[in-house]
Amino acid sequence: MTQFIFKRLLSGLITIWFIATATFVAMHVVPGDPLANAKAMKPEIRKNLEARYGLDKPITQQYVIYIGNMLQGDFGISFTQKNRRVNDIIREHFPISAVLGVLALLIAAIGGIVWGAITAVYRDRWPDSVIMFLVVVSVSVPSFVFAMLGQLGILNLNQWWGSSLLPVAGWGTFQHMLMPALVLGLGTMAYLTRLMRSSMLEVTSADYIRTARAKGLSPLRIFFKHQLRNAILPVVTVLGPAIAAITTGGFVVELVFAIPGLGRYFVQAVQQLDYTVIMGTTVFYGAFLVLMVLVVDILYGFIDPRIRVGKSGA
Amino acid sequence: MVNQINHIAALSIDDLRVDFTTEGGRVQAVRGVSLSVNPGETLALVGESGCGKSVTMMSVMGLIPVPPGRIVSGSAMLNGREIIGMSPTELNRVRGSEISMIFQDPMSALNPTMRIGDQIAETLMVHRGMARGDALARAVQLLDRTRIPEAAQRARQYPFEFSGGMLQRAVIAMALACNPSVLIADEPTTALDVTIQNQVLELMREIQREEGMAIVLITHDLGVVARMADQVAVMYAGQVVESGSVDDIFYRSAHPYTLGLKQSMPSVAEADHAQLTPIAGSPPDLFAPPPGCGYCSRCSHAMQLCQSRQPDLLSVDSGHISRCWLQHELSPVRQSDVYLKNAAEVHGND
Amino acid sequence: MKIAQVLSVLLMVWLLSACEPAKVQGVDYDKRSISIALTQEPPDLNTTSSTDSVSFMVLTHVMEGLLSYDRDNNLVGGVAERWELREDGATFWLREDARWSNGKPVTAHDFVFAWRKVVDPANASEYAFILYPITNAQAINEGELPLSELGVRAIDDHTLEVDLFQPCPYFLGLTAFGVLNPVNQEFYESRGERYAADVEDLLYNGPFKLTSWIHGASLRMDKNPEYWDRDNVWLEIIDAPYITEDSNARLNLYRDGMIAMANGMNEQALLGAMQERMQIKTFMDGAIFFIEFNQRDERATRSKYLRKAIQTVLNTEDLVYKVIGNPGSFPARTIFPRWMKGVDDDFVREFPPERVPVDLDLGRKYIELAKQELGVEQLPPITLLADDSQGGSKVSEYLQAVMKQRLGLDVRVDAQIFKQRLAKMTSGDFDMVISGWGPDYNDLLTYGDLFYSKNLNNRGRYASEEYDHWVAVAQRSLQREERAQAFAQMQRLIVEDAVIVPLYERGVVYVQNPRLHGVVRRPIGGDPNFRFARIAAPEATP
Amino acid sequence: MNYSLKADDFAPLEHSKSAEQLVRPSLSYWQDAWQRLKRNRRALWSLYLIAGLLLMAFVFPLVIPLDPEKQDLTQVSQGPGFARTSLIVETRPWEGRYAAHQQATETRVTGLRVFSEPHTESVKLTWEPVDGASYYRVYRHILKPSGIADLGLPLGATEFDDQVFYEDRLKLKTDTYHYSVVAIDGAGQIISHDSLAVSPRHATSLNDAVSRGLIEADTNDRDQWLGREVSLTWHLLGTDQLGRDMLARLVYGAQTSLFIGIVAPLLFVALGVIYGGLSGYLGGRVDELMMRFADFVIALPFLLFMILFRVAMGIESGESGIFPMLIALVILGWPSVARLVRGQVLQLREQPFVEAAQLMGASPHYLIWRHMLPNVMGVVLVSLTFAIPSAIFTEAFLSFIGMGVAPPTPSWGAMCNDGIKSFLSHPHELLFPAVLISATVLAFNLLGDGLRDALDARMKG
């Protein structure tokens, strides 16, 4: 197991280096000027600014410095927020995206598993049809539409209730997170529901379920003790990519709900050509993705005895 | 119902009919099957794939998916009690305790994410109301009894850590957990290699001797039949075409299909030093069963009558019946020789 | 299963613990507190390098310059008690009771330090040019003289002396601008790179001070007990618990009673606002938008006739009333916005700009002339550089369609993100660009010198000796009338030479809690300003 | 036995060959798949829907002329409906009416009335001067005002001392408006206010009518059209914020969205097939290296890099922005397909029929074309069908955050972006494109499900 993790970590590091390089190249191909501002700048001042950000050096040297700093975990100073380091920005805003993402994933996973199981149990009957219709709608409606509808929903709820039941936007308490997380997790929930349903159906026709029935176990017992656990396994494998997709894909939700997450910073940074922030967040997210996939792989090993006991070290 | 009726059969099935509704139409998978097996006896249910032998027994167990499956009519008496049409709860009380079943592929028949011991103990906990600890201890005993070495340790392992033969033993242990009076074994050895097959079969016989339960052995391997069975029922296209004692079937075959089956089975054919001859053609379409005998189009003995009329169940001997017009009193074959030797001979006589 | 149980318990605990509602109200009479939403995180609260409006909005509350504006936008004393402006300089007498939030007095040295910092080339402040009227400022900023040569001196702790190298009629206005705020040297140096990065990394001398700043999430300003005029500040708390650039989200927050005002509403949102009978207000933020033509040699738009053709067929009233459709925005006819003062009255009323009537036939005639002027059979496609924001694209799409329809011009919209648009503007990679200009100080010159041939912000490279002459007059003269005349001449030239096509003066539409009064909206120096705000007592509910 | 049997019945039966034949015809893999797909009604309907959308996007405009860029500022943000007529009017600035306040006797706003017929090009208001007023503010509401804080939109204020008129031209529609005039004194205090309800009729300015070709008039006798009615273009599905025909924009938007949605996946699936096939076929060290590279690309955070690449490639003037998005999608999309295909190829290489063909001396070329491709096709086809909706989504998302196609190129995502702001007041602007996106994505998803079932292609890994 240790060897397995070590190997994966190493390949993860190479992957991160690749991401860093790709970002660096993409960044320097981008037309436009990160230092430009609404007011024209004197060449002398420009030179000073270039020196501050190291843009005066040849590109290869910039690359070496950039990779070197990155290895020390230093992403430099933001171009737009002049007295903030990218590290600080990530440190302050990523946890928000992460909390939101984790909650969204939790909602998505629990919802996906529950709905998926229900649809499989009631296969081809009305609960199946209703849920699958909703699932299809959720995967087919763009997230930004849901975000807006979600906010309007809260607003109308509050107005109907007479006082603020849920905050319309903002960040801080659990109530703030509820709707954004729901909106954010909806697509993934729909995806997981589909996955869970087909996985459940596959399990339902599995021989060991027949065995369990032949043993005279009650349907409820069969469902919980035999079907669910086996059906969840394939669902777990996609959680790694899902959490990455959720945490990076949250910027519309962050924007609409005024959540100070990292995703929003990234989009702003792109629009402002804030080199250091763009590079920092991209590399950070890349590393996060790599890590998440690894974590889920290890987690999967704990859930599936075939991997835990069987092929340790593979 | 031709068996001795002097004592109650462990399981007797009467005129069971099962349909499956599919997109293409209704398949009459089982068309009036009657069977019976006595305590301590082994009934072998023989036939080629798709002939309805598994469906028959699964229907009895209530294991066919409903829908698309449907038991149209018939009855199945388990120790004198009707089990067809039982409520799911009642059926669950019977399954696993009075009647249990083991399946073809032990690898897939066990839950891959649950320990072997737990899977066996589960039956005991449900049917006997045992506490988990007791049930687990009993599971170890059962494993031990099915000749699994280091049973206590093995009980804590997962299916993928077992070999095929071991798994089948574990499955048998699970099936036997509550001392059922009927054990249905659906091709229990097909997925195993030959040496293991023998061990498993031996184990089953041994346990049968000790417990006196009835076994319904579903198989297409006549070798297994010869070793294990007391009674044999040959099924074809959803019907029992011949049934009788193992000697009746092997030495006094009264249906051309049984004969064809024998000639296509290597183990039997070799014993007879005869040539291996596959049965030509394929079984009838059960979406629309032919008006006559289902075997008609493949039968070398076929007569005009066979095409238009279903053969009746005709008694050949005491306890030996055949669903073939050849056994009719007007049939020329019947008049010359009751039992069929082989196709060539018959044609020679013709 | 166990993990799930633990998680669910944790979740419940979390839910319950969070259940205590953080009750934020748009206005709270008892606490003398208001809540607002910022459009973005203030990027830079260091006055010597800050450039953006959100930062200045915060700075205007927590800092104070020599002079400041009262509620009617008149210049009044800030840190300075008395002042004197001369042709060659100015003197400011600082009040004794002006103090930093750490209790230390604000002294003339703080101004000297701050202003030197602004022109320090190493500091690379983009607003350094604003100090150029001060002796040697430009030379220092260009690295030719040491900082100590800047024409500003602290005579004593409370007297500041400024040398101007040429008369600067608007200098007093500059001293109210955030960039010229004082900075305490000792404190600045003690913070190093972290200066202004957080609440504790900044000293305050304004009516409020920052008490909480959660980056990207919220910001809070409390009344500054050290402020000299604290008795005239009614409000205790300005809370900004939301930061979002989405105007819909802000409106929804307002609807939900969470904030006291929601800025920047679009036309569609207004319908809803009216349906809910909200109090709608408008205000001109000072920005003026126009099409600027590139007059570099290789560009088709160097042809005056082509420019005139476009000028003749564009109906800015249609643009403002039908495309933008926001109340508060007005069709522009000149570079000078209507709220700027001329001699005695608003400048545009004293010197009404020439109205160019829409004339489709004349426009087509100009096009023919332009072809002759350029010596081409067919005019090449014209690039219209625009920003890629939603409002921006609506305007550029409209302009594109109109020019196509009325002149047969093949206009290609080049929508770019902000920084890319700036880069293209600077390098001259455009034929036309939709640009906006906001005032840096309260004088017509902030708009007028835009087309001065040596101004780096003159992206179209319009060069006219006559225009340069009038700019020079306006820069030097202290005569109100003479200056106004000069600006009128510039205005005339802009229309005559079709330097730009003025499009509109931007109006900002907002909804405001009817109980909130005294909010000052101004185009210059931090907007909105809550310095004079108060909340009406809640009506006794029956 | 109640029926009688004759001896003839027992005569031997001659087997005829035909009777032995199985009734069902044998089908090839693809025919069989097609049969199964046809039986899946949802998939079949999806197929029809997709065909219909493609028809709409690429054939419809050829048959019926539609102009997605033609603006009609007199019909802005109009809901779906029927054709209407419009009055041709002249729009010269109104000289207005002045009256000195000094002589005013009224202390309240009185005599508020409209001057000449109100229409959507201009509503002219005038009122009697108020004693002590220094100027007047004019408001417009869609409801009857309920108080001084509820007067609606502040349109503006009078500019001159004796001005007692106001001309409103701000986005007028044929609704009923409640105008309010508020008299303000020298200290900025409100003296009084009065309201008036006005319902303008639809009008088009002469200049506009000429330049939009509503009327054919040569230079001399244009004025004869003044006061006449013309019929306006009919917008079946309404118009957007610039008065452009929604139907036309949806159709041309479909071109953009479907083009990106279909061509990008086609390209990257093709690239993936070649890459993955090659990698799987070559095997060994090369395979390992190639797959490692694919893993790198997969590890790139998709949306972030989509944005980054899209910005990096930039859009030059006049370009639609379709191409950069296409490239970005291809760059980021191929590895998952490559992985899938490689897996299939590796599996296939071990299959007996491939080994047999190899033993029989089949050339690699033959092997790939005859054995590998047809067997990989199923998986590829299914992954293509699922790649399309996600590409459409990506396009929509990028256009939504303003990183997609450049205006005025219509795309469904960009239209959603335009429409979302006005969702409450003009829901059709968001509804139509959003429904189309959803329907298309849904259709492709259902078709993908159907194909997967029909081809029995397991999408694992």
Record: contact D10-B297, CB cut-off 8 A: no
| Residue D26 in this model has a pLDDT that exceeds 90 | no
Residue D1 contacts C, CB cutoff 8 Å: no
pLDDT digits (tens, 9 = 90+) for B34-50: 888 888 888 888 887 77
Residue B272 confidence (pLDDT): 55
Those residues of chain A whose CB sits closer than 8 Å to some CB in chain D are: 11, 14-15, 18-19, 22-23, 26-27, 29-32, 136-137, 139-145, 148, 152, 244-245, 248-249, 251-252, 266-267, 270, 278, 281-282, 285-286, 289-290
pLDDT digits (tens, 9 = 90+) for B120-170: 888 888 888 888 888 888 888 888 888 888 888 888 888 888 887 888 888
Are C64 and C211 a contacting pair, CB within 8 Å?
no
Work out the mean pLDDT of chain C and round it to a whole number: 87
* D420: nearest CB among A26, A137, A144: A144
**pLDDT band at residue B266, thresholds of 50, 70 and 90?**
low
Give contacts of D 71-110 with C, CB under 8 A. Answer: 71, 73-74, 76-77
Backbone angles phi, psi at C215, to 5 degrees: -55, 130
Give the dihedral of Cα atoms C394, C396, C401, C407; nearest 10 deg. 160
Are D442 and D46 a contacting pair, CB within 8 Å?
yes
Query: How many whole angstroms separate alpha carbon A59 and alpha carbon A267?
Result: 25
Percentage, residues of chain B above pLDDT 90: 0
Tokens in use for B291? 């008006």
**Stated length of chain B:** 350
Euclidean distance between the first and the last CA atom of chain B, given in angstroms as a whole number: 33
| Residue C183 in this model has a pLDDT that exceeds 90 | yes
Residue C111 vs residue B46, higher pLDDT? C111
| Residue A313 in this model has a pLDDT that exceeds 50 | no
Three-state SS for D223-278 is HHHCCCEEECCCCCCCECCCCCEHHHHHHHHHHHHHHHHHHHHHHHHHHHHHHHHH
Tokens in use for A254? 């962050």
Are D118 and D126 a contacting pair, CB within 8 Å?
no
Tokens in use for C174? 């500059």
Residue D386 confidence (pLDDT): 78
Backbone torsion region of residue D314, taken as left when φ is above 0, otherwise alpha when ψ lies between -120 and 50, otherwise beta:
left
In chain C the domains, ranked by start, together with CATH numbers, are: 37-207 (3.90.76.10), 286-507 (3.10.105.10)
- Give the pLDDT mean for A42-46: 77
The angle, 0 to 180 degrees and rounded to 10, between the axes of the packed helices C480-496 and C465-476 is 160
CA angle C244, C249, C251 (to 5 degrees): 115
Query: How many whole angstroms separate alpha carbon A91 and alpha carbon A85?
Result: 10
Min distance A303 CA to chain B CA atoms (Å): 9
- Chain D positions touching B350 (Cβ under 8 A) are 12
Tokens in use for C165? 């190298």
Give the dihedral of Cα atoms C299, C389, A92, A295; nearest 10 deg. -100
Residue A314 confidence (pLDDT): 31
Query: How many whole angstroms separate alpha carbon D415 and alpha carbon D397?
Result: 11
CA angle D303, D307, D312 (to 5 degrees): 145
Three-state SS for B130? coil
Residue C432 confidence (pLDDT): 93
Which range has highest mean pLDDT (A220-224, D251-255, D407-411)? D251-255
**pLDDT band at residue B349, thresholds of 50, 70 and 90?**
very low
Residue D461 confidence (pLDDT): 30
Mark C492-514 as b/e (b = at least 16 C-beta within 10 Å): bbbbebbbbbbbbbbbbbbbbbe
What is the DSSP code (8-state) at residue C292?
E
Three-state SS for D219? coil
Work out the mean pLDDT of chain A and round it to a whole number: 80
- Give the pLDDT mean for D411-439: 82
| Residue A120 in this model has a pLDDT that exceeds 50 | yes
Record: contact C127-A40, CB cut-off 8 A: no
Is the four-CA dihedral B202, B205, B207, B209 of positive or negative sign? negative
Min distance A300 CA to chain B CA atoms (Å): 12
Mutate to test the interface with A, among B60, B64, B89, B92 (most CBs of A within 10 A): B92
Record: contact D424-C268, CB cut-off 8 A: yes
Residue D407 contacts C, CB cutoff 8 Å: yes
Residue B92 confidence (pLDDT): 84
Residue C237 confidence (pLDDT): 94
- Beta strand pairing status for B42-46 and B231-236? parallel
**pLDDT band at residue D128, thresholds of 50, 70 and 90?**
confident
Backbone angles phi, psi at C213, to 5 degrees: -150, 100
- Give the pLDDT mean for D368-390: 77
**pLDDT band at residue C8, thresholds of 50, 70 and 90?**
low
Are A162 and A79 a contacting pair, CB within 8 Å?
no
**pLDDT band at residue D242, thresholds of 50, 70 and 90?**
confident
Query: Which candidate, B273, C164, B111, places its Cα nearest to that of A209?
Result: B111
pLDDT digits (tens, 9 = 90+) for D312-333: 776 666 677 788 888 888 888 8
Q: How many CB atoms lie within 10 A of CB C152?
A: 23
| Residue B75 in this model has a pLDDT that exceeds 80 | yes
Min distance A141 CA to chain D CA atoms (Å): 5
**Cβ-based neighbours of A78, under 8 Å, separated by 6 or more:** A84, A85, A86, A89, A269, A274, A276, A277
* A305: nearest CB among B92, B113, B123: B113
Are B294 and B239 a contacting pair, CB within 8 Å?
yes
Residue D460 confidence (pLDDT): 35
- What's this model's pTM, rounded to 2 decimal places? 0.76
Tokens in use for C190? 């003690």
Residue C152 confidence (pLDDT): 94
| Residue D17 in this model has a pLDDT that exceeds 70 | no
DSSP secondary structure string, C126-146? TTGGGGTTBTTHHHHHTTSS-
Record: contact B100-A211, CB cut-off 8 A: no
Query: How many whole angstroms separate alpha carbon C525 and alpha carbon C173?
Result: 10
Three-state SS for B244? strand
Query: Which candidate, C181, C195, C187, C64, places its Cα nearest to that of C130?
Result: C181
The angle, 0 to 180 degrees and rounded to 10, between the axes of the packed helices C247-255 and A143-161 is 10
Three-state SS for B238? coil
| Residue C540 in this model has a pLDDT that exceeds 70 | no
Those residues of chain D whose CB sits closer than 8 Å to some CB in chain A are: 292, 295-296, 299-305, 307-309, 311-314, 389, 393, 396-397, 400-401, 403, 413, 416, 420, 423-424, 430, 434, 437-439, 441-442, 445-446
| Residue B345 in this model has a pLDDT that exceeds 50 | no
Tokens in use for D366? 């033959």
Give whole-number Cα distances, B340 to B137, B283, B300, B309, D417, in Å.
54, 21, 12, 21, 84
Residue D394 vs residue D161, higher pLDDT? D394
Work out the mean pLDDT of chain D and round it to a whole number: 80
- Give the pLDDT mean for C299-328: 89
Residue B238 confidence (pLDDT): 81
What is the DSSP code (8-state) at residue C104?
P
pLDDT digits (tens, 9 = 90+) for B297-328: 777 777 777 777 777 777 777 778 877 777 77
Residue D29 confidence (pLDDT): 67
Are D338 and D294 a contacting pair, CB within 8 Å?
yes
Residue of A nearest to B93 (CA): A216
Query: Which candidate, D152, D132, D128, D148, places its Cα nearest to that of D140?
Result: D152
Three-state SS for C278? coil
pLDDT digits (tens, 9 = 90+) for C218-254: 899 999 999 999 999 999 999 998 888 878 888 888 8
User: Can you count the helices (H) and strands (E) in chain B?
Assistant: 15, 12
**Cβ-based neighbours of D1, under 8 Å, separated by 6 or more:** B312
Record: contact C125-A49, CB cut-off 8 A: no
- Beta strand pairing status for B99-102 and B320-322? unpaired
| Residue B6 in this model has a pLDDT that exceeds 80 | no
| Residue C2 in this model has a pLDDT that exceeds 70 | no
Global ipTM: 0.72
Identify the helix (H) or strand (E) that includes residue D190: strand D190-198
**Cβ-based neighbours of C174, under 8 Å, separated by 6 or more:** C130, C131, C133, C168, C180, C441
Are D109 and D127 a contacting pair, CB within 8 Å?
yes
Query: How many whole angstroms separate alpha carbon D52 and alpha carbon D55?
Result: 5
Give the dihedral of Cα atoms A118, A218, A204, B86; nearest 10 deg. -110
Query: How many whole angstroms separate alpha carbon C456 and alpha carbon C446?
Result: 13
* A164: nearest CB among C51, C242, C256: C256
Record: contact D39-B306, CB cut-off 8 A: no
Residue C20 confidence (pLDDT): 39
Give contacts of A 170-229 with C, CB under 8 A. Answer: 170-175
What is the DSSP code (8-state) at residue C296?
S
Which range has highest mean pLDDT (B169-183, C144-158, D22-36)? C144-158
Work out the mean pLDDT of chain B and round it to a whole number: 78
Tokens in use for C8? 């669910």
Residue A288 confidence (pLDDT): 83
**pLDDT band at residue D81, thresholds of 50, 70 and 90?**
confident
pLDDT digits (tens, 9 = 90+) for A159-192: 777 776 777 777 777 788 888 888 888 888 888 8
pLDDT digits (tens, 9 = 90+) for D382-391: 788 778 888 8
Residue C25 confidence (pLDDT): 64
Which range has highest mean pLDDT (B205-214, D31-40, D360-369)? B205-214
Min distance B99 CA to chain A CA atoms (Å): 9
Q: How many CB atoms lie within 10 A of CB B245?
A: 17
pLDDT digits (tens, 9 = 90+) for D82-121: 777 888 888 777 877 787 766 677 778 888 888 888 888 8
Residue B67 confidence (pLDDT): 73
Give whole-number Cα distances, C119 to B238, C204, C376, D283, in Å.
100, 22, 48, 65
| Residue A62 in this model has a pLDDT that exceeds 90 | no
Is the four-CA dihedral D209, D213, D215, D219 of positive or negative sign? positive
Tokens in use for C198? 């957080």
Residue C496 confidence (pLDDT): 92
Query: Which candidate, B293, B344, B341, places its Cα nearest to that of B314?
Result: B293
* Residue D238, burial from CB neighbour count under 10 angstroms (0-12, 13-18, 19+): buried
* Residue B195, burial from CB neighbour count under 10 angstroms (0-12, 13-18, 19+): exposed
